[in-house]
Structure 1
Amino acid sequence: MQQLVELLKERGLTIASCESLTGGLFCSSLTQIPGVSAVLKGGVVTYWTEIKEKVVHVSRETVATYGVVSEQTAYEMAVNVQKLFDTDVAVSFTGNAGPDVMEGKPAGSVYTCIAIKDKTYGFHDLIRAERNEVRRLIVEKTTERIKELLINGSI
């Protein structure tokens, strides 16, 4: 997280998050870093579908067609929270932390989306682990992905 905050500061970029299965873990992890207020505008935890629709404007059609555990929902969460907070970077997390199957998706099925300026990057991971380990691992993996995109994307 420290490296991510430093990269964002160096590039003069801001970040926001929209989290479902991670329950705010990404944003909470960022706030452990001194000076993060220079880059973190905020985050939204949208655990219920209704909140995804009302707060970050994920379309009902998307949810009805693809479900909340989907690439499409992750995309709308990231793009819409980027607009809501007016940030350069936004990240979203949605999925099934387990232990049961949800919307036909196995436990550990996670969709994330990273929006950087006008580009988006979607990811699907299947993490076979206990519920809280799924959450921790996807936050770590996504943090690494954001750093990689910032470094290799010449942003």
Structure 2
Amino acid sequence: MDTIKELITICTAKHCTISSCESLTAGLFTSAVASVPGASAVLKGGVVTYFTELKEKLVHVPAELVHTYGAVSEECAAAMARNTRELTDSDYCVSFTGNAGPDTMEGKPAGRVYCAIASKRGVKPFMFQCDAMTRNEVRQYVVDRMAEELLKEVKENG
């Protein structure tokens, strides 16, 4: 939680806003940010697109992209972050999509997660393979890691 507190402090000082588009984390990132006092100064909102069709309908991930690469893909995570950042008019958007397990999905192993951070400068993708973790451990791990990555991004470029 210290990372998220620092993220809010830095974003507030730099007048940066953040948003999220979450699938496998189902709002966990947004909830973590909102739990910290001062979040209302930086958090524009979050979209949960757990079903693939909502990725297409709510945040305009092209159906052809999903068909070609899958909902669990770097390409999908990038589109989720880019499109949600534009929809929310935020400075930064972080996205989460993946397979928390326990079974293989779209040919991807349990624990495979793709995330992205979108800003006006572009989109940075991330891939994690979280082995030997429960579903909720995977979800918490990627939220923590992406909070760290977003903090680095804001410090460097915010």
What range describes the TM-score normalised by the shorter chain of this pair? over 0.9
| Superimposed CA distance per residue, residues 59-99 of structure 1 (whole angstroms, 9 cap, x where no aligned partner) | 00100000000000000000000011000000000000000
Runs of 4+ in 1 over 3 A off after TM superposition: none
Distance 1:61 1:121 in 2: 21
Query: How many residues of Structure 1 are paired with residues of Structure 2 in the alignment?
Result: 154
In 1, Cα distance between equivalents of 2:122 and 2:67: 25
**Structure 2 contact 25–143 (Cα < 8 Å) conserved:** yes
CA distance in structure 1 between the aligned counterparts of 2:69 and 2:119, rounded to whole angstroms: 24
Task: Report the Cα distance in structure 1 between the residues aligned to 2:69 and 2:123, rounded to whole angstroms.
Answer: 18
Q: Where does residue 25 of structure 2 map in the other structure?
A: 22
1:78 aligns with 2:81: yes
Aligned to 1:9, which of 4, 8, 12? 12
CA distance in 2, matches of 1:125, 1:134: 9
Of 135, 141, 152 in structure 2, the residue corresponding to residue 137 of structure 1 is 141
Q: Identity of paired residues, percent?
A: 51
Q: Give the Cα separation in 2 of the matches to 1:147 and 1:12.
A: 14
Deviations 1:84-121 (A, max 9, x none): 10000000000000000000100110000001223211
Residues 43-82 of structure 1: matches in 2 within 5 Å?
43-82=46-85
Does the alignment pair 1:147 with 2:143?
A: no
SS at match of 2:109: coil
State the distance in 1 between where 2:121 and 2:74 align: 17
Cα distance in 2 for partners of 1:138, 1:11 equals 25
- SS of 1:23's equivalent in the other structure is coil
Q: Which runs of 5+ in 1 are unaligned?
A: none
SS in structure 2 at match of 1:53: helix
- 2: CA distance, partners of 1:27 / 1:135: 12
Is 1:42 the counterpart of 2:45? The answer is yes
* TM-score normalised per structure 2: 0.95
Q: Does 1:87 align with 2:84?
A: no
The one-letter amino acid paired with 1:131 is: R
Matching residue's letter, 2:56:
E
Q: How far is the alpha carbon of 1:149 from its aligned partner?
A: 1.6
Aligned-residue offset at 1:7:
1.0
Q: Determine the C-alpha separation between the residues in 1 that align with 2:157 and 2:49.
A: 31
Aligned counterparts of 2:28 and 2:116: Cα–Cα separation in 1: 16
1:148 positional shift: 1.2
Hey, what's the Cα distance between the residues in 1 that align with 2:38 and 2:16? 13
Aligned-pair Cα RMSD in Å: 0.7
